[in-house]
C-alpha cells in the first residue's frame, strides 16, 4: 500500500461519533477497518472508539482515576501505577471520561441514571456497578501479514487455512483477528449474496496454523459444536517436536493426563497421575493419541496428533508433559526458534515510510500510544520494542464433522513441506492405526 492509498483509508475524523452522545451508548461503532501490511506485519490503522467498564466490588468507593489506573495500565500491565493514574488524570482533564451512576434505590425508571455525564473531578469516588465510559484512540495488536486461504465455502460454512500468528478472536473487540481478516481478504472468493457474519466453530491458538471452520449463523455453529462436544468429530494435527518420539509401529502413544488452567500464568497444567486428581469444573479429563511419522536429521520428530477431547492447549501441554515439547513452543518448554520463524520487532517501517504516514494521518496529541509509536519509529523509545509471537510447529491438518458433512484438509505448513509430498501422504500414516 502506498502513501496516497493510506491517506484515502485513514480519514477517521468525520466518522467517529460525538464525544458524549445525547443517548446512552455502550460501545461506539468504530469506522470501517483499514489495514496496512508493512515488512510482513499487519497493522490496523488507529481509530476512535468508546469503551464502557463496569466498576467491580473491590473498587467501590475509590477515586475514578485510581480505578482506571489499576485496571487499564499501558504496556500490558508493566506500567507503574502512579504513572498510570497520571495518564487517566489527563484523560479526565481532557474531558474524555464519562460516568453513569448506579442508582441507590430501585425505581420504575430503571437502575441507572438517564445518561453518561462528563467527569470533571479527578478524585470523584465511584461505586460498584457504576459504568465508566472512555473515549479511546485504539492501536490494535500487530499480527502477521500472512493471508488466510480459502479451502471451501459450502454455503453454511467457510473453511479456511489459518496462518500462524493471528488470533481467532480479539478479547478487546478489535479487527486484527482471523474472522475480520478473512472477510477482508477472501470476500471476492466467497459465495455472493450470503452473510458475512461468521462465527468460529472451534478455535486455534494464535501461533497455530491450519483448518479453521467458520459458520454462517448460530444454528450451524450449534450443530457442529455438538459433534465436537459429543466427541463425534475427528481431528488430526501435524506436529514437530524436540527429541526422538517413541516408536508407534505396533501401537499409538496415548496421553490421558487431566488438564487444568493456571489463569495467572495463562497456561494449561497437566496432572501426570490421572487417578490422583478428581475431575472438577477446573480439572478436566483429556485424551490425545499420537502417531510417529519419522525422525528428522535435526534431532526432532514429525508426528500426527489426534485429540479426542478439545481443551485449551491440550496437544501442547500433553506433549510437554511427555517430554517432547513442540518446536518453538517456549511457553511449554521448547527452545526459542532461531530461524525465520523467530520473533521479529514490530513497527519496522518500510523504505516508503508507510507507518509514519499512517501515524501522521491519525495522530492524536493526547494519545500516549501515538507518542510511543513515534519514539519507536524515531529509534528513541525507552522501552524494549515488542516482538511478534513466533509460530509453533503445530498445524490443524484435517477436521471431519459428520452431522454437517464437513471433511476439510489443509495444505502442508512450510516447515513440513520438505519432509512429505502432501497432506494425503502424511495422513496415510494414520490409516490402520489402532
| Length of the chain, in residues | 434
Predicted local confidence at residue 339, as pLDDT: 57
**Per-residue b or e along 273-283, where b marks 16 or more CB atoms closer than 10 Å to that residue's CB:** eeeeeeeeeee
Angle (nearest 5°) at CA 282 between 277 and 284: 60
CA distance 275 to 112: 51
CA distance 422 to 363: 47
Predicted local confidence at residue 111, as pLDDT: 55
Cβ count within 10 A of residue 288 = 25
Contact assessment for residue 102 and residue 112, using Cβ atoms and an 8 Å cutoff: yes
Dihedral angle at the C-alpha atoms of 72, 99, 120, 363, nearest 10 degrees?
Answer: 50
Cell 475509590, residue located = 62
CA distance 220 to 408: 16
Query: How do the pLDDT tens digits run along the chain, 434 residues long?
Result: 444 333 333 333 333 333 333 333 344 455 678 999 999 999 999 999 888 899 999 999 999 999 998 888 765 445 678 888 888 998 898 889 999 988 665 554 555 556 788 888 889 999 998 999 998 899 999 999 999 999 999 999 999 999 999 999 876 678 999 999 999 999 999 999 999 999 999 999 999 999 999 999 777 788 888 888 888 999 999 999 999 999 998 899 999 999 999 988 889 999 987 677 777 878 999 999 999 999 999 999 999 999 999 999 999 999 999 999 999 999 999 988 765 555 577 898 999 999 999 999 999 998 888 998 999 898 876 666 677 778 999 999 999 999 899 999 999 999 999 999 999 999 998 876 65
- Kindly give the pairing relationship between strand 209-216 and strand 394-401: parallel
Predicted local confidence at residue 379, as pLDDT: 84
Predicted local confidence at residue 112, as pLDDT: 55
CA distance 113 to 111: 7
Q: Which three cell numbers stand for residue 51?
A: 469503551
DSSP letter, residue 196: -
Q: Is 377 exposed, middle or buried (0-12, 13-18, 19+ CB in 10 A)?
A: middle
Closest CA to 202 of 185, 183, 224: 224
Say whether pTM exceeds 0.95: no
Q: Which residues are catalytic?
A: 205
Predicted local confidence at residue 110, as pLDDT: 55
Contact assessment for residue 396 and residue 235, using Cβ atoms and an 8 Å cutoff: yes
Amino acid at each position: 500500500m502506498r502513501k496516497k492509498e493510506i491517506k484515502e483509508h485513514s480519514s477517521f475524523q468525520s466518522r467517529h461519533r460525538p464525544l458524549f452522545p445525547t443517548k446512552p451508548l455502550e460501545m461506539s461503532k468504530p469506522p470501517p477497518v483499514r489495514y496496512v501490511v508493512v515488512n510482513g506485519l499487519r497493522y490496523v490503522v488507529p481509530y476512535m472508539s468508546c469503551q464502557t467498564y463496569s466498576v467491580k466490588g473491590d473498587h467501590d468507593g475509590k477515586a475514578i482515576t485510581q480505578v482506571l489506573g489499576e485496571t487499564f495500565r499501558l504496556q500490558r500491565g508493566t506500567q507503574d501505577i502512579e504513572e498510570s493514574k497520571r495518564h487517566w488524570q489527563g484523560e479526565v482533564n481532557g474531558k474524555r471520561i464519562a460516568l453513569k451512576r448506579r442508582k441507590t434505590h430501585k425505581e420504575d425508571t430503571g437502575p441507572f441514571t438517564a445518561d453518561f455525564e462528563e467527569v470533571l473531578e479527578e478524585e470523584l469516588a465511584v461505586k460498584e456497578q457504576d459504568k465508566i465510559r472512555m473515549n479511546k484512540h485504539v492501536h490494535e495488536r500487530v499480527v502477521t501479514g500472512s493471508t488466510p486461504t480459502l479451502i471451501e465455502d459450502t454455503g453454511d460454512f467457510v473453511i479456511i487455512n489459518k496462518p500462524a500468528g493471528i488470533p481467532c478472536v480479539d478479547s478487546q473487540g478489535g479487527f486484527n483477528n482471523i474472522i475480520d481478516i478473512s472477510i477482508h481478504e477472501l470476500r471476492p472468493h466467497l459465495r455472493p449474496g450470503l452473510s458475512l457474519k461468521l462465527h468460529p466453530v472451534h478455535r486455534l491458538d494464535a501461533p497455530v496454523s491450519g483448518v479453521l471452520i467458520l459458520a454462517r449463523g448460530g444454528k450451524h455453529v450449534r450443530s457442529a459444536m455438538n459433534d465436537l462436544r459429543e466427541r463425534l468429530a475427528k481431528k488430526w494435527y501435524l506436529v514437530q517436536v524436540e527429541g526422538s518420539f517413541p516408536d508407534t509401529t505396533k501401537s499409538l502413544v496415548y496421553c490421558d493426563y487431566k488438564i487444568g488452567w493456571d489463569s495467572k500464568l495463562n497456561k494449561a497444567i497437566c496432572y501426570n497421575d490421572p487417578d490422583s486428581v478428581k475431575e472438577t469444573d477446573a480439572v478436566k479429563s483429556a485424551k490425545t493419541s499420537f502417531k510417529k511419522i519419522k525422525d528428522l536429521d535435526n534431532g526432532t520428530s514429525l508426528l500426527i496428533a489426534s485429540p479426542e477431547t478439545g481443551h485449551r492447549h491440550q496437544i501442547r501441554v500433553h506433549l510437554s508433559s511427555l517430554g517432547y515439547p513442540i518446536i518453538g513452543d517456549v511457553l511449554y518448554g521448547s527452545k526459542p526458534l532461531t530461524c525465520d520463524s523467530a520473533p521479529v520487532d514490530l513497527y519496522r517501517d518500510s523504505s516508503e515510510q508507510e507507518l509514519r504516514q499512517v501515524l501522521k494521518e491519525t495522530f492524536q496529541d493526547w494519545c500516549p500510544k501515538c507518542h510511543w509509536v513515534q519514539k519507536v519509529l524515531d529509534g528513541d523509545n525507552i522501552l524494549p520494542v515488542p516482538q511478534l509471537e513466533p509460530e509453533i510447529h503445530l498445524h490443524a491438518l484435517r477436521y471431519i464433522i459428520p452431522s454437517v458433512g464437513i471433511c476439510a484438509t489443509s495444505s502442508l505448513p512450510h516447515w513440513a513441506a520438505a519432509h512429505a509430498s502432501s497432506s494425503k501422504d502424511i495422513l496415510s500414516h494414520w490409516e490402520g492405526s489402532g
